[in-house]
Each structure stands twice: as C-alpha cells, then as structure tokens.
Structure 1
Amino acid sequence: MSISIKERIISRLQAAKGDPISGQALAEELEISRTMVWKYLKGLGEEGYEIEAIKKKGYILKQMPDTLASERISLHLETKELGKNIIYYPVCDSTQTIATNKAREGVAHGTLVVSEEQTAGRGRLDRSWESSAGKGIWMSLILRPNISPQFAAQFTLVAAVAIARAIEDTTTCVPSIKWPNDLLINGKKVTGILTELQSDMDRVQAIIIGMGINVNQTSESFEGPLESIATSLKLETGEHVDRALLAAKVLFYLEKYSDMYITLGFEPIKLIWESYNCTIGNRIRATTLRDTIEGLAIGITNDGALQLQLDNGEIKGIYSADIDLLKI
C-alpha cells in the first residue's frame, strides 16, 4: 500500500519535532502546489489535528487526535505485511463480523479492520464485549498463512504473546496470560482474543484474530458487574496510552511471532507464553461445552492444549474451555 499525501504530511510534521516547516518546502517535497498543501492542512485541522501556522516560518504540529484512523496507525508501523491495508470505521457493529466477510471476499493477508466503537462487539461463545467509543482498541486482523487447519488454533496463543509484548513495550505494565485467550493485570481482564477460521479440508483460507484491548477507560467505564473483573491500561498506570502506537506494536509482534511459529514451530512461542502465563501451577475450574472439571493446570502441549491433572491423578487435555483460577 502506497503512503498517501496526507500520511506523508503528518509524518513530515511529526518528524520536525516542533520546528516549523514552510508550505513551500512541503509543496516541493510532495510535488504538489502550495494551494494543495493548504487544503490538506485544512482537512487535517477538521479531523482534529492541531496545526499552528507561524507567519513567515511555516507550520508546526502541536497535537494529533486520539484516533485509530489508518494514517495514525501507519505512522508507527514497523511491519512488512500486517496493517498495510487498514479498514477504519468510526463506529461499526463488530470488527470481527466485518473482517469475516472481508476475508470471504478475498482481501489481502494482513488486512486490519479497526473501529473506535462497536455496537455489537463479541467474544468467545458470542458473548457481548463492552466496546466504548474512543477508549479501547477494537480490531480484527486477517491472516492467510500457508498451513494446515490443525495448526490454526495456536494462533490464539501467538496473539496473546504478541499483545503482552506490545503492552510491555508501550506501558509500565507486564500483563499475565490466562489460557487460552485472556490477558490480565492484577487479576483483572484487560484483553480478550477471539480467533476464527475459514478453511478447506487441507488448507487454511483465513484466520481472523479479533482483539479487544481496554486502554484508556476510567473507573466509570466498569461500573456494576465489570468493576471486579475488568481493568484498563490507564487505570493500572495512571497514564494516557497512545492507542495508535499500541495497535502498531501489536501488529509488529504478531508478524514477528507468526513468522516464528510458521518457521520454527510452536516450541519457541510456548516458551515465551509460559513466561507470561498465570494459569500453569494453579488449581482451575474448566467449563467446556460438555462438562465442568477441576484440577491442577500442569502445562500446555505443543498443539496448545491445556494439560489438567485431576484429583485422581488423571491428566486431561483441554482444547477449548472457560477457565476460572481457584485458590489452592
């Protein structure tokens, strides 16, 4: 995807770090007229970019809007493929639903669907996901790896590791991973992951990874039942987090660890996952579609299954379940 003129103007103003850039210099660099430069700057101002014009000196970027628009994420991208095509919605029903449909339509590997707000955000088992406007990261990524369907389930764990690393890079928080798809901070949920598959019998057509990250919510966002189970990065750090930067970091680590998994297998991902996990070594309750069992979580296998040791010593492999951590 080629970089748009708007993105180039934003990038140039940001790189100046407060030094004014003249309209003439921008026009020459971008090979457009000064009138077109002015129109672009006017448009950016209408989108929430605070740009100061200093007489006889030029333009200074004072502040950027806190959005997940494609040009904001693209400013921070360090990927080769992921996020090169970004489909942005101020409001949508569900990025996962849209991404699922886009994948069937054949959009490119690495396409990202992202929204400021979801009106029908969903998690595992079609549970609703609170997706308040402008506070979190609600996005779904379409991957088209050349793998067999049997290897797709591990991408949930790959995504969990990627998001944990991205959060650690951009904040003072070190999240823990609760198998299979939750990230916690101080025991409260900060991220949920939903991985869905489109495939033939022998080949993956698309993996759609839905990610909901609570970023800048305040305590008022989690009143009622959510108060005891959910948190945000801002609540944990006391600081506002740049959502676009965090989203770009997630894509960076997703690309890194996806490539690692496809090239080297699950073992190196498993080692990183274990360094963040809060499941192994704990007594848990696992609720599957068929029953509920309790036991000691003793590890995960190389296909991502949780190994649960029952009280009678039997070891069961669990591939999908809701997990509650229990006190020993």
Structure 2
Amino acid sequence: MRATSPTLAKWGTPALWETLSPLLPGLSIEVVESIASTNAELVERLRVVASSGRDRHVRADDLNPCLLVAEQQTQGRGRLGRTWQSALGASLTFSLSLPLQRADWSGLSLVVGLSVAEALDPDGQHLGLKWPNDLWIKDGSQRKLGGILIEAIGVGASRVAVIGVGLNIQSLGQNMASLSEFHPGASAPWALGRLMPVLVQRLLRFEQHGFAEAAEAFAQRDILRGRPLTTTDPACPQGLAEGVDVDGALVVRGQAGPHRIVSGEVSVRPAPLAH
C-alpha cells in the first residue's frame, strides 16, 4: 500500500485491504494525490512488464491485482476518447488491474456498472444503467453519475483487465448527477469502501460464469429498455431498445427487425421524449 499515513487513514485503506485480499491474493492498494489517469498508469505498468517478458518468463508477481486510487485526475478518460471531468474531493476515480482467465469478456463493463449500482443503491431507487458503461440517475433527466472504462492488456500468456471507474460524489455541473443527491454527506473514501467488495465479488463470478449470470439483475436497472433510441450504427440508426442479451449485446428493434449492437464504439442515446 502506497500513500502517506494520513491519506491511508482517511481512505481506510488498511481495512479495505483486509477485506479484499482474501478474494484477490497479492492485491496492492495505492492512493495518490494527483495523477493524469489511473487507467493510463496501470496500462503503462503492464506494457512495461509485457515488453520485458519477451526476454524472460513473466512472474506471477508481475500480474498481481492492483487498486490505484487518485484523489484527483487531471487527464481522466472515458469511452470513445472522451475526457472525464473530476475535482478534488468531489469525485471518486480509481482503476483496478486484474488478470481474468475467462476467454470471453462480453458484458464485462455491464457487470462493473451493475456492481457499482448494487453497492451504492441496493434498492434500485436511484441508479439506472445505460448500456454499455454509464450510471444515470433515475429521475428522467438523463444525467450521468458515473462511467466505466475497461482496457485489455496481454502480458505473456495472460490477459489483464484494467477497469477504470469515475463517479461524481458532489455536483460538478448542472447536467451531471452526483451521489450526494441520495447519499447526503457521502465522500469518495466512503463510496470506495462500500463498492469495492461488491465489485470484486461480481468480477470473480463473471470470471466463472460470464455475463449471463448477471443478465437478470442488469435488466432490472436497464434504463434504455423500452425506450426509442438513436445510434451511430449505420445498420440500425434508430429503433426501440428491447434489453440486453445474455452475452451483453444491446438488442434494438429497427425497421428490419431485431438488431444486436455489440461494439462499445457505437454511441447510443435515448430519443427525445414526445411532449
């Protein structure tokens, strides 16, 4: 664990490590005051290991899970190259690097989003999930509370997921939701401690069973289902969302019938509601 003692105490890192390390042997937890991007940092570390591994056998220790938390990110990244806005004390930004033995990672971002929603809103009253990787507040405003960014890095014979999560704890703008709206007084350390055990347990189940095991729970929070959509997929530019398939694909009924959208490079938005 890397951070100053006051920082470790504020984040409850020792207790969090005690909870998570039996599930993730070899886990390290680091908290830094400021960094460009937690995902970029872990990806670069893994690339260095992968490069050096060409000349030697990759050691098991090289692939140990790492949770990297930033009190502030200056160049946070989202899907499709978008930036992720964060502010000191008002955001939770972290990344987890984790080798996953499962060959098919379809639906992984959905499982991560589901675990965050389950941990912070167990009754499902406040948080909905927007395919493929966003958390929206369930008040009809289409405001985003958090997002997921997953990158895959090959290291020797293993494939490592770098799972980035960004959440708004306090309001960062008029069109952005925040955790404090339904958890007054929430802090980033509190949110991290609450969601990490749920996230790790969901990831371990995903490794064994894939997305199908979580499909029903995701459907209960699917904020797009039953809504008219517009998409950037030229094969189905608009249609009605019919939910998510057992492999995590979004099913949209267009003019030609049901159409599966599997690529996270496709942008999907609810069509404006008629008045």
Identity of aligned residues (%): 24
- What SS is found at the alignment partner of 2:147? strand
The whole-number CA distance in structure 1 between the counterparts of 2:124 and 2:211 is 28
- The counterpart of 1:231, out of the listed 172, 177, 186, is 177
- In the alignment, structure 1 segments of 5+ residues that lack a partner are 7-42, 50-63
In structure 2, how many angstroms separate the alpha carbons of the residues matched to 1:204 and 1:302? Answer: 25
Bigger helix fraction:
1
1:246 CA drift (Å)? 1.9
Cα deviation digits, residues 171-228 of structure 1 (max 9, x gap): 9963100111000112311010011112389x6511111100111x24xx31xxxx22
The aligned counterpart of 1:88 is 31
Gaps of at least 5 residues in structure 2 are 50-61
For the 8 Å contact 2:19–2:197, the answer to whether it is kept is no
Query: Aligned pair count?
Result: 256
- Contact 1:173-1:237 at 8 Å conserved across structures: no
Q: Give me the whole-angstrom Cα distance separating, in 2, the residues matched to 1:204 and 1:179.
A: 27
Encode CA deviations 1:137-186: one digit per residue, 9 max, x unaligned: 101111101122xx1232101101110111125x9963100111000112
**CA distance in 1 between partners of 2:229 and 2:22 (Å):** 37
**What corresponds to 1:54 in structure 2?**
none
- Residue 197 of structure 2 is matched in structure 1 by 252
Which of the pair has the greater relative contact order for Cα pairs under 8 Å at 6+ separation? Answer: 2
Corresponding position of 2:71: 116
Q: Distance in 1 between matches of 2:20 and 2:125?
A: 21
1:110–1:251: structure 2 CA closer, same or farther, 3 Å change rule? farther
Q: In 2, are the aligned partners of 1:78 and 1:248 still within 8 Å (CA)? A: no
Residues 73 and 244 of structure 1 are in contact (CA less than 8 Å); yes or no, is this contact kept in structure 2? no
What is the aligned partner in structure 1 of residue 57 from structure 2?
none
SS where residue 161 of structure 1 aligns? helix
Q: Distance in 1 between matches of 2:143 and 2:214?
A: 24
Cα deviation, residue 122, structure 1: 0.8
2:240 aligned with 1:304, yes or no? Answer: no
Shift of 1:287: 2.0
Structure 2 residue aligned with 1:285: 230
Give runs of ≥4 in structure 1 deviating > 6 Å. none
Q: Secondary structure at the match of 1:97?
A: helix
What residue is the counterpart of 1:212 in the other structure? 166
Counterpart in the other structure of 1:318: 261
Q: Distance in 1 between matches of 2:25 and 2:127?
A: 23
Partner of 2:119: 166
Could you tell me the TM-score, scaled by structure 2's length? 0.81
**Aligned counterpart for 2:145 among listed residues 190, 208, 216:** 190
Distance in 2 separating the partners of 1:162 and 1:83: 22
2:87 partner SS: coil
CA distance in 2, matches of 1:275, 1:172: 8
> Which amino acid letter does the alignment assign opposite residue 114 of structure 2?
V
Indicate the RMSD between aligned Cα atoms, in angstroms. 3.0
* Equivalence for 2:53: none
CA distance in 2, matches of 1:167, 1:267: 22
Partner residue, 1:180:
132
1:242 to 163, 168, 187: 187
Kept in 2: contact 1:69–1:88 (CA 8 A): no
